[in-house]
Amino acid sequence: MQQKKGGFRLADRVADIEPFRVVEVLTRARELAAAGGDIVNLAVGAPDFITAAPIVEAGRKALADGHTDYSQALGLPELREALSQHYRVEYGLDIPARRIVITPGASGALLLLSALLLNPGDGMLLADPGYPCNRHFMRLVEGRGQLVPVAADTRYQLNAAQVAAHWQANTVGAMVASPANPTGTALSFAELSALSAAVRGQGGHLIVDEIYHGLTYDGPSRSVLEVDPQAFVVNSFSKYFGMTGWRLGWLVAPEEAIAGLEKLAQNLFISMSTMAQHAALACFEPATRAILEERRAIFGQRRDFLLPALENLGFEVPCKPDGAFYIYANASRFTDNAEALCWQLLEDHGVALTPGIDFGHAGAHTHLRFSYATGMERLEVAVERLAKVLR
């Protein structure tokens, strides 16, 4: 137990959970902007578009109609059915609504899975670099993320051979993301199949973060559920559907896990935002999907501008991102302290980026994450400012 000055005590886990550095960067960027600075924000991991009008109107109607009470712990039946139909249309999969759990953001799904699968001392294999909160959720329930260094040779993804090499006596599963944060790389059908076989061969659970599905630019994403019906899938209404502040996600789980998830959800959340769930029903309407597809095309155009621009500046990007809205760039030509460079670019030149140290340890001090979730004109300004500094 940590003891603070004056006898104030904190649990040990607080020290073990690292700060989310991108939030610190964003906070400082807002301070500089409020003081009159012109800040180009390439750090934020959220769409810059406001929530599509049909979704907003559905939310307003839900409020006007008095949908302000608790929903069921697993979510509105209508929304679970809509997601079941979504899997049928998008992937050709028959995922019964009873296997779909609505959660307060993808973060709620990650917390549920950590509590469901990890006993104290258990571990879960995670790619390094990867989304940092995953291992912190596991620490919260006294488990731990077992970080596996990955690099360009596997497109920064955990693969079957690494699962076999890094599996430990206390490992209970592996978690991957496709497309991934911070790299934007996705797993192919063959890679998902091999991963599933490797994890199942160890008697473990496979979790796949699919929250950037829909935001791919060179072809559709493949869901792990196409090859492994027993996998756990985490998804969100925040990215493709653009509902970041509504805090709504979902989880697809094996039927054997649903009772446990419901019990945990009852205790941890009671229910999700009822009005947000009613709003989300509009996500699947043709008019909404047309808006979202237009936005997806714009994200693709931004990637295709920023990627060669960064390479021309001298950054190395060995793996072209398949999706999401990130480019994970090697800045070793310029620095061996990417975090210091990140803060210098923000404070002195008005460009906000995320340091690699936010995502793990492997190569962290020489990498930066660029987000292209901002308009093309601002991306052009950022490239101009970087050129002046780095050249």
Report the CATH number that the domain containing residue 266 is assigned in CATH.
3.40.640.10
From 237, 261, 284, give the residue that closes a domain. Answer: 284
pLDDT at 5: 52
pLDDT at 8: 86
* Whether residue 153 is found in the same domain as residue 69: yes
349 located within any domain:
yes
From 252, 284, 316, give the residue that closes a domain. Answer: 284
* Whether residue 173 is found in the same domain as residue 80: yes
* Rounded (10°) angle between helices 133-140 and 105-117: 50
2 located within any domain:
no
Please state whether the predicted TM-score (pTM) of the whole model is above 0.85. Answer: yes
* Whether residue 45 is found in the same domain as residue 138: no
* Whether residue 17 is found in the same domain as residue 81: no
CB 206 within 8 A of CB 240: no
* Whether residue 156 is found in the same domain as residue 210: yes
From 256, 284, 312, give the residue that closes a domain. Answer: 284
* Whether residue 107 is found in the same domain as residue 171: yes
* Whether residue 273 is found in the same domain as residue 131: yes
Angle made by CA atoms 336, 337, 341, in degrees to the nearest 5: 120
* Whether residue 45 is found in the same domain as residue 66: no
Nearest to 212 by CA among 245, 177, 264: 177
For residue 17, the domain's CATH number is 3.90.1150.10
* Whether residue 111 is found in the same domain as residue 207: yes
* Whether residue 249 is found in the same domain as residue 323: no
3 located within any domain:
no
* Whether residue 215 is found in the same domain as residue 310: no
Quickly list H helices, the chain.
12-16, 21-34, 53-64, 77-91, 105-117, 133-140, 160-166, 189-201, 255-268, 274-280, 286-313, 338-349, 376-390
pLDDT at 4: 57
219 located within any domain:
yes
Angle made by CA atoms 251, 216, 238, in degrees to the nearest 5: 40
Provide the domain count of the chain: 2
* Whether residue 316 is found in the same domain as residue 345: yes
Q: Which domain holds residue 105?
A: 58-284
User: Residue 156 gets which letter from DSSP?
Assistant: T
d(CA 99, CA 301): 36
* pLDDT tens, N- to C-terminus, the chain (391 residues): 555 556 789 999 999 888 777 888 889 999 999 999 999 999 988 899 999 999 999 999 999 999 999 999 999 999 999 999 999 999 999 999 999 999 999 999 999 999 999 999 999 999 999 999 999 999 999 999 999 999 999 999 999 999 999 999 999 999 999 999 999 999 999 999 999 999 999 999 999 999 999 999 999 889 999 999 999 999 999 999 999 999 999 999 999 999 999 999 999 999 999 999 999 999 999 999 999 999 999 999 999 999 999 999 999 999 999 999 999 999 999 999 999 999 999 999 999 999 999 999 999 999 999 999 999 999 999 999 999 999 7
d(CA 347, CA 219): 38
340 located within any domain:
yes
